[in-house]
Protein backbone atom coordinates (compact mmCIF):
# COMPACT_ATOMS: atom_id res chain seq x y z
CA UNK A 1 0.00 0.00 0.00
CA UNK A 2 1.37 3.37 -0.95
CA UNK A 3 0.63 6.69 0.67
CA UNK A 4 -0.98 9.30 -1.56
CA UNK A 5 0.27 12.85 -1.88
CA UNK A 6 -1.64 16.14 -2.05
CA UNK A 7 -0.85 16.20 -5.75
CA UNK A 8 -2.79 12.98 -6.25
CA UNK A 9 -5.61 14.01 -3.97
CA UNK A 10 -6.14 17.19 -5.97
CA UNK A 11 -4.84 16.29 -9.43
CA UNK A 12 -5.60 19.79 -10.73
CA UNK A 13 -2.29 20.78 -9.15
CA UNK A 14 -0.21 18.26 -11.08
CA UNK A 15 0.31 20.42 -14.18
CA UNK A 16 1.44 23.36 -12.07
CA UNK A 17 3.88 21.15 -10.17
CA UNK A 18 5.30 19.75 -13.41
CA UNK A 19 5.80 23.28 -14.75
CA UNK A 20 7.58 24.27 -11.56
CA UNK A 21 9.85 21.22 -11.77
CA UNK A 22 10.74 22.03 -15.37
CA UNK A 23 12.11 25.40 -14.31
CA UNK A 24 14.83 23.68 -12.29
CA UNK A 25 16.11 21.66 -15.28
CA UNK A 26 19.17 22.89 -17.21
CA UNK A 27 18.22 25.41 -19.89
CA UNK A 28 18.51 24.38 -23.54
CA UNK A 29 20.48 26.41 -26.06
CA UNK A 30 17.29 28.09 -27.34
CA UNK A 31 14.67 27.76 -24.60
CA UNK A 32 11.05 27.70 -25.75
CA UNK A 33 8.56 30.01 -24.07
CA UNK A 34 7.20 28.49 -20.85
CA UNK A 35 3.58 27.31 -21.06
CA UNK A 36 0.99 29.17 -19.02
CA UNK A 37 0.96 27.78 -15.51
CA UNK A 38 -2.25 26.11 -14.36
CA UNK A 39 -3.86 27.81 -11.36
CA UNK A 40 -3.61 26.07 -8.00
CA UNK A 41 -6.68 24.43 -6.49
CA UNK A 42 -7.58 24.68 -2.82
CA UNK A 43 -10.38 22.51 -1.43
CA UNK A 44 -11.66 22.80 2.14
CA UNK A 45 -14.05 20.13 3.46
CA UNK A 46 -15.00 18.15 6.55
CA UNK A 47 -14.04 14.79 5.03
CA UNK A 48 -12.06 13.45 2.07
CA UNK A 49 -12.05 10.00 0.48
CA UNK A 50 -9.58 9.26 -2.30
CA UNK A 51 -9.78 6.25 -4.64
CA UNK A 52 -6.31 5.79 -6.15
CA UNK A 53 -7.37 3.06 -8.60
CA UNK A 54 -10.24 5.02 -10.15
CA UNK A 55 -8.64 8.46 -9.57
CA UNK A 56 -11.71 9.82 -7.79
CA UNK A 57 -11.63 12.28 -4.88
CA UNK A 58 -14.81 12.78 -2.84
CA UNK A 59 -15.09 15.79 -0.55
CA UNK A 60 -18.05 16.19 1.83
CA UNK A 61 -19.23 18.72 4.38
CA UNK A 62 -19.21 22.47 3.69
CA UNK A 63 -16.96 22.08 0.64
CA UNK A 64 -15.28 25.25 -0.64
CA UNK A 65 -13.27 24.82 -3.85
CA UNK A 66 -11.12 27.67 -5.13
CA UNK A 67 -9.30 27.43 -8.47
CA UNK A 68 -7.87 30.60 -9.93
CA UNK A 69 -10.73 33.09 -10.10
CA UNK A 70 -13.45 30.44 -9.60
CA UNK A 71 -15.03 29.58 -6.24
CA UNK A 72 -17.51 26.76 -5.65
CA UNK A 73 -19.57 26.07 -2.51
CA UNK A 74 -21.33 22.71 -2.08
CA UNK A 75 -22.04 19.96 0.43
CA UNK A 76 -20.40 17.26 -1.68
CA UNK A 77 -17.91 17.36 -4.56
CA UNK A 78 -16.74 14.32 -6.52
CA UNK A 79 -13.73 15.04 -8.74
CA UNK A 80 -12.62 12.48 -11.33
CA UNK A 81 -9.37 12.60 -13.29
CA UNK A 82 -9.72 11.66 -16.97
CA UNK A 83 -7.11 9.57 -18.83
CA UNK A 84 -5.97 12.83 -20.46
CA UNK A 85 -5.19 14.32 -17.05
CA UNK A 86 -8.06 16.81 -16.96
CA UNK A 87 -10.78 16.96 -14.33
CA UNK A 88 -14.53 16.48 -14.32
CA UNK A 89 -16.43 17.34 -11.17
CA UNK A 90 -19.94 16.93 -9.79
CA UNK A 91 -21.11 19.12 -6.91
CA UNK A 92 -24.35 18.58 -4.99
CA UNK A 93 -26.17 20.26 -2.13
CA UNK A 94 -28.15 18.88 0.79
CA UNK A 95 -31.94 19.16 0.77
CA UNK A 96 -33.08 22.77 0.97
CA UNK A 97 -29.68 24.14 -0.08
CA UNK A 98 -27.99 25.02 -3.37
CA UNK A 99 -24.59 24.75 -5.04
CA UNK A 100 -23.00 28.14 -5.74
CA UNK A 101 -20.32 28.95 -8.33
CA UNK A 102 -18.68 32.34 -8.84
CA UNK A 103 -16.25 33.12 -11.64
CA UNK A 104 -14.47 36.48 -11.31
CA UNK A 105 -13.25 38.50 -14.30
CA UNK A 106 -11.14 41.23 -12.66
CA UNK A 107 -9.86 42.63 -15.95
CA UNK A 108 -13.40 43.68 -16.96
CA UNK A 109 -14.84 44.18 -13.45
CA UNK A 110 -17.31 41.37 -14.14
CA UNK A 111 -18.38 38.23 -12.30
CA UNK A 112 -20.55 35.28 -13.29
CA UNK A 113 -22.50 33.72 -10.43
CA UNK A 114 -24.54 30.54 -10.70
CA UNK A 115 -26.76 28.61 -8.29
CA UNK A 116 -28.51 25.26 -8.66
CA UNK A 117 -29.25 22.00 -6.89
CA UNK A 118 -26.37 20.32 -8.74
CA UNK A 119 -23.38 21.49 -10.76
CA UNK A 120 -21.14 19.67 -13.22
CA UNK A 121 -17.75 21.07 -14.21
CA UNK A 122 -15.44 20.08 -17.07
CA UNK A 123 -11.90 21.37 -16.57
CA UNK A 124 -10.86 20.77 -20.19
CA UNK A 125 -13.68 22.77 -21.79
CA UNK A 126 -14.01 25.41 -19.04
CA UNK A 127 -17.73 24.65 -18.90
CA UNK A 128 -20.10 24.23 -16.00
CA UNK A 129 -23.75 23.15 -15.96
CA UNK A 130 -26.20 24.08 -13.20
CA UNK A 131 -29.08 21.64 -12.88
CA UNK A 132 -32.34 22.13 -10.98
CA UNK A 133 -33.64 25.60 -10.01
CA UNK A 134 -30.72 27.01 -12.01
CA UNK A 135 -29.93 30.72 -12.11
CA UNK A 136 -26.87 32.34 -13.73
CA UNK A 137 -26.31 36.07 -13.17
CA UNK A 138 -23.70 38.38 -14.70
CA UNK A 139 -22.47 41.19 -12.47
CA UNK A 140 -20.71 44.34 -13.65
CA UNK A 141 -18.85 46.31 -10.99
CA UNK A 142 -20.82 44.47 -8.30
CA UNK A 143 -24.27 45.14 -9.79
CA UNK A 144 -26.46 42.48 -11.45
CA UNK A 145 -26.90 43.03 -15.21
CA UNK A 146 -27.96 39.88 -17.05
CA UNK A 147 -29.63 36.73 -15.72
CA UNK A 148 -30.82 33.40 -17.07
CA UNK A 149 -33.23 31.04 -15.28
CA UNK A 150 -34.17 27.50 -16.21
CA UNK A 151 -34.01 23.88 -15.20
CA UNK A 152 -30.52 23.61 -16.69
CA UNK A 153 -28.15 26.44 -17.54
CA UNK A 154 -24.82 25.74 -19.22
CA UNK A 155 -22.05 28.35 -19.22
CA UNK A 156 -18.70 28.19 -21.00
CA UNK A 157 -16.11 30.50 -19.47
CA UNK A 158 -13.66 30.14 -22.38
CA UNK A 159 -16.00 31.52 -25.05
CA UNK A 160 -18.63 33.26 -22.91
CA UNK A 161 -21.60 31.27 -24.25
CA UNK A 162 -24.79 30.20 -22.47
CA UNK A 163 -27.36 27.51 -23.14
CA UNK A 164 -30.53 27.10 -21.06
CA UNK A 165 -33.50 24.77 -21.11
CA UNK A 166 -36.77 24.70 -19.19
CA UNK A 167 -38.55 21.87 -17.44
CA UNK A 168 -40.41 21.01 -14.23
CA UNK A 169 -37.34 21.90 -12.16
CA UNK A 170 -36.96 25.38 -13.65
CA UNK A 171 -36.43 28.39 -11.40
CA UNK A 172 -38.67 30.42 -13.77
CA UNK A 173 -42.48 30.36 -13.65
CA UNK A 174 -44.24 27.74 -15.75
CA UNK A 175 -41.12 25.66 -16.22
CA UNK A 176 -39.90 28.07 -18.90
CA UNK A 177 -36.51 29.68 -19.56
CA UNK A 178 -36.43 33.32 -18.48
CA UNK A 179 -33.61 35.64 -19.52
CA UNK A 180 -33.03 39.31 -18.80
CA UNK A 181 -30.32 41.14 -20.75
CA UNK A 182 -29.27 44.76 -20.42
CA UNK A 183 -28.15 46.65 -23.57
CA UNK A 184 -24.49 46.08 -24.42
CA UNK A 185 -23.83 49.82 -24.40
CA UNK A 186 -25.09 50.07 -20.82
CA UNK A 187 -22.77 47.29 -19.66
CA UNK A 188 -19.81 48.83 -21.51
CA UNK A 189 -20.54 52.20 -19.89
CA UNK A 190 -20.68 50.57 -16.45
CA UNK A 191 -17.33 48.86 -17.02
CA UNK A 192 -15.75 52.13 -18.19
CA UNK A 193 -17.14 54.00 -15.16
CA UNK A 194 -15.86 51.29 -12.81
CA UNK A 195 -12.41 51.35 -14.40
CA UNK A 196 -12.26 55.14 -14.06
CA UNK A 197 -13.39 55.04 -10.41
CA UNK A 198 -10.86 52.32 -9.51
CA UNK A 199 -7.96 54.14 -11.19
CA UNK A 200 -8.64 57.49 -9.53
Range of the domain at 119: 6-26+37-199
Question: Which ranges of the chain have pLDDT less than 70?
Answer: 1-38
Which tens digit of pLDDT belongs to each residue from 159-191?
888 999 999 999 999 999 999 998 989 988 999
Q: What DSSP line would sit under 59-91, residue for residue?
A: EEEEEEEEETTEEEEEEEEEEEE-TTS-EEEEE
Q: Is residue 31 part of a domain?
A: no
Looking at the structure of the chain, the number of domains it has is 1
Q: Does the pTM exceed 0.85?
A: no
Q: What is the DSSP letter of 27?
A: P
To the nearest 5 percent, what fractions of the chain are helix, strand and coil?
20, 45, 35
Read off the CATH number of the domain in which 192 is found: 2.60.450.10
Q: Is residue 32 part of a domain?
A: no
* Residue 140 and residue 184 in contact, taking contact as beta carbons nearer than 8 Å: no
Amino acid sequence: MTFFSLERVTPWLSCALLCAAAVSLPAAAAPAPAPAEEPSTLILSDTLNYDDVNRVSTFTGNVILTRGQMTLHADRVEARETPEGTQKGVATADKGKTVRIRQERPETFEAIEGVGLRAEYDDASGEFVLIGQAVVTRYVCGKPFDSIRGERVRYNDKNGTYHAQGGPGSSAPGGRVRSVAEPRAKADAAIAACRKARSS
